[in-house]
Amino acid sequence: MKNEKIFIALNHAQIPNAVTTYGSNLAKRLDRPAIVYGVAAVPIISEPISIVGATIPNPNINDAQTATEKKIESFMEEALSIYPHISYTVDSGDSIENIINKTDKENPYMVLVEGNSELTTLHEWFGTYETQLAEEIKAPVLVLPESYFWKDVKSILYVMDIEDQQLDNILLLNKIAKDLNAEVSIVMISEKENEEQIKKHTQLITLFEDSLGYKNISFHQVFTENSTDDVVEQLAKNVNADWLAIEHQSSSFFERVFNSDSSERLILQSKIPVLVF
């Protein structure tokens, strides 16, 4: 079994728990241990918790953590029946902060996050639960649509900015696809159709196929000055994609290929899981 874990971040410890079920199946396919991580919200304290010279413990925190643990235990039996190499742990506090800090320490192979947020003006300013995690977590983040249960991954669409391609991401994606027995389609987006862009596309194909031996990847090139999430959605339909992969770590990709609004909508409104590098 490979050492790096699949990290399953819970937003809600509800039953049935789609993200845990999905993570258990994914960990099994990737032959990696998995950990379910829940965060109990810290209750608001109405009474003072300290006096001069002494500190009075706050029982509400322990109660909240115990309640969260019991909820997780209620669906761990199903997770363990899918895959025995899965455990869970619970902390208390701010969910986003705890998940980011925990993944920094754990250095997981991949982090699963279940999306359930709608894009509002406030979210556009500060980001949603899933977009903040996708941006801040260093490991690849797989954002699942709300209540999205497991189905075999046969096709992955990787939308790549030809001006800022990340070879490490492609190497990792090819490894994941191989373990899942999935096909990869790489779509290279360029703003303008010209000889230089076509040459770059040809050079990258040569690198992947001849130098790296990636014969199981199909390559496509799209020219558009105003690419939006609608374009990506259509591309995903064309290749019957089960996952969409994008480069959130690119400094220019979302700014240049998508507008700021569109990048968040792509993650939030996708009907299939989105793997964010």
DSSP the chain: --SSPEEEE-S---SS-HHHHHHHHHHHHHT--EEEEEEEPPPPP-S--EETTEE---HHHHHHHHHHHHHHHHHHHHHHHH-SSEEEEEEES-HHHHHHHHHHHH--SEEEEE------HHHHHH--HHHHHHHH-SS-EEEEPTT-------EEEEEEETTS--HHHHHHHHHHHHHHT-EEEEEEEESS--HHHHHHHHHHHHIIIIIS--TTEEEEEEE-SS--HHHHHHHHHHTT-SEEEE-TT-SSHHHHTS-HHHHHHHHHH-SS-EEE-
- CATH number, position 234: 3.40.50.620
The reply to whether 113 and 178 lie within a common domain is no
The reply to whether 117 and 209 lie within a common domain is no
The reply to whether 182 and 255 lie within a common domain is yes
Residue 235 pLDDT level (bands cut at 50, 70, 90): confident
Q: Which two tokens stand for residue 123?
A: 């979210």
Q: Does residue 150 fall inside a structural domain?
A: no
User: What pLDDT, on the 0 to 100 scale, is given for residue 115?
Assistant: 82
Q: Does residue 195 fall inside a structural domain?
A: yes
Q: Which two tokens stand for residue 218?
A: 């199909």
Last residue of a domain, one of 144, 165, 182: 144
Determine if the peptide bond prior to 16 is cis (ω within 30°): yes
User: What pLDDT, on the 0 to 100 scale, is given for residue 126?
Assistant: 42
Last residue of a domain, one of 121, 144, 167: 144
The reply to whether 165 and 187 lie within a common domain is yes
The reply to whether 132 and 13 lie within a common domain is yes
Last residue of a domain, one of 93, 116, 144: 144
Distance CA(242)–CA(245), nearest Å, equals 10
Q: Does residue 265 fall inside a structural domain?
A: yes
The reply to whether 50 and 176 lie within a common domain is no
The reply to whether 190 and 120 lie within a common domain is no
Distance CA(175)–CA(3), nearest Å, equals 15
Q: Does residue 42 fall inside a structural domain?
A: yes
Provide the Cα torsion 17, 18, 20, 25; round to 10°: 140
Q: Does residue 1 fall inside a structural domain?
A: no
Q: Does residue 149 fall inside a structural domain?
A: no
Q: Which of 5-14, 95-104, 125-134, 188-197 has the lowest mean pLDDT?
A: 188-197
Domain that holds residue 90: 6-144
Beta bridge partners of 91: 39
Regarding predicted confidence, which is higher, 115 or 80?
Answer: 80
Considering just the CA atoms, what is the radius of gyration of the chain in Å?
21
The reply to whether 131 and 166 lie within a common domain is no
User: What pLDDT, on the 0 to 100 scale, is given for residue 64?
Assistant: 77
The reply to whether 70 and 104 lie within a common domain is yes
The reply to whether 166 and 112 lie within a common domain is no
pLDDT at 109 over 50: yes
By residue count, the chain amounts to 277
Give me the percent of the chain exceeding a pLDDT of 70.
Answer: 67
CA 19 to chain centre: 11
Helix axis angle for 129-136 and 95-106, nearest 10°, is: 30
**Number of domains within the chain:** 2
Q: Do 244 and 270 touch, CB atoms closer than 8 A?
A: yes
**What is this structure's pTM?**
0.82
The reply to whether 131 and 11 lie within a common domain is yes
The sign one gets for the Cα dihedral 10, 232, 169, 177 is positive
Query: Once rounded to an integer, what is the mean pLDDT over residues 192-217?
Result: 65
Distance CA(13)–CA(57), nearest Å, equals 25
User: What pLDDT, on the 0 to 100 scale, is given for residue 97?
Assistant: 92
